[in-house]
Amino acid sequence: MNALYAHAAHDLRLEPCETPAPGKGEVVIRMRRGGICGSDLHYYNHGGFGAVRLREPMILGHEVAGDVSAVGEGIEHLKVGDLVAVSPSRPCGACAECLRGLPNQCLNMRFYGSAMPFPHIQGAFRETLIADAAQCVKADGLSAAQAAMAEPLAVCLHAVRNAGELLGRRVLVTGCGPIGVLTILAARRAGAAEIIATDIADTVLNYAKSAGADVVLNTRENPDALAPYQQAKGSMDVHFECSGAEAALAAGIAALRPRGVLVQLGLCGDMNLPMMQVTAKELNLRGSFRFHEEFAIAVDLMRKGLIDVEPLITHSFPLAEYETAFATASDRSRAMKVQLEFT
């Protein structure tokens, strides 16, 4: 069985990986699709992000779906042949944060494809995966490609939940990669009245417009595009910052009205904050990191047709063509979401 390892920046290798038999409460999954995430691209292009660096070979991947091929003892809700979306979130359930009801902040989190701890947590870009049955959500009615989008959608649902009430609110989304566009879909589903989206590339802004953004602004062509929304003390209720770019963060803070809410999703190292504005406008600054229960909600929303992720899946490549897949995913002028095909 092969798995896709990152050894260093621009050093990906398809190498053998052992597949043990499933234990009690576990299932064997024949992988079908895996989406290349922004964090995978950071490992590929830079060997990590911020202070998080690759220190040993690590299997990439955490946006995955596949078919159950064997079940261990004690499994009743899954059977061989079921298509499942696999949550990469595996909190311990026993640490102080888990016991406080914050499993996404688990002190012993085993999140697929993460170099945050050492030894690293190996990922899910492998032909066969052993997973806890509790991680698996049945995805009947979805394609494997759609099911593999549950993870990024869950990230955005968690962010929307962290933002609080969105019904009738004016929302700004900065950064329109997959997370930004999925946030637009989630915010609209939560009742946002108006959504403004910014980015530096027209290609992704077109996806944002198709996803329901009322106004899209290219801030490379017009660095002052948000100026009308920054007048007086600002006019936006909620800002979802999805780019990890300091300039986008500052522009969004200037557009927030007093007591507005900033939700930071983008991960790209530390950024400077205009703290005087945050203080004077009494802004609410909230981080949003990963998810937990939102994963099953994401699958349910897709199955019911309430959120359509299909238009975001722009490319797919066989696992053996991983170099082409990662190069394509790194090109924002061509790709939105790129997936690997395992079978």
Tens-place pLDDT, residues 324-333: 999 999 998 8
Residues of the chain with CATH 3.90.180.10: 2-149+309-341
Q: Summarize the chain as % helix, strand, coil (round to 5).
A: 30, 30, 40
Cα–Cα distance measured from residue 200 to residue 198, given in angstroms and rounded to the nearest whole number: 7
What does the pLDDT look like over 36-94, one tens digit per residue? Answer: 999 999 999 999 988 899 999 999 999 999 999 999 988 989 999 999 999 999 999 99
What does the pLDDT look like over 142-188, one tens digit per residue? Answer: 999 999 999 999 999 999 999 999 999 999 999 999 999 999 999 99
Number of other residues whose CB lies within 10 A of the CB of residue 304 = 9
What does the pLDDT look like over 229-258, one tens digit per residue? Answer: 999 999 999 999 999 999 999 999 999 999
CATH for 2-149+309-341 is: 3.90.180.10
Number of other residues whose CB lies within 10 A of the CB of residue 40 = 24
User: Is residue 268 predicted with pLDDT exceeding 80?
Assistant: no
User: Is residue 18 predicted with pLDDT exceeding 90?
Assistant: no
Cα–Cα distance measured from residue 3 to residue 17, given in angstroms and rounded to the nearest whole number: 6
To the nearest whole number, what is the mean pLDDT of the chain? 96
Reported as a pLDDT band with limits 50, 70 and 90, residue 302 is very high
Residues of the chain with CATH 3.40.50.720: 154-287
- Scanning the structure block, which residue is given the tokens 């494809």? 113
Beta strands in the chain (DSSP E): 2-8, 11-16, 26-35, 48-49, 52-53, 58-59, 63-71, 83-86, 128-132, 136-138, 170-174, 194-199, 215-218, 236-241, 256-264, 284-287, 313-318, 337-341
The predicted model gives 295-322 an average pLDDT of 98
Supply the DSSP string of 295-321, one letter for each residue.
Answer: HHHHHHHHHTTSS--GGGEEEEEEGGG
Q: Whose CA is closest to 204, among 34, 9, 38?
A: 38
What does the pLDDT look like over 195-216, one tens digit per residue? Answer: 999 999 999 999 999 999 999 9
pLDDT score for 49: 86
pTM of the model: 0.96
Would you give the DSSP letter of residue 116?
S
Specify whether the CB–CB gap between 260 and 235 falls below 8 A. no
Specify whether the CB–CB gap between 201 and 220 falls below 8 A. yes
Cα–Cα distance measured from residue 109 to residue 85, given in angstroms and rounded to the nearest whole number: 19
CATH for 154-287 is: 3.40.50.720
The predicted model gives 129-148 an average pLDDT of 97
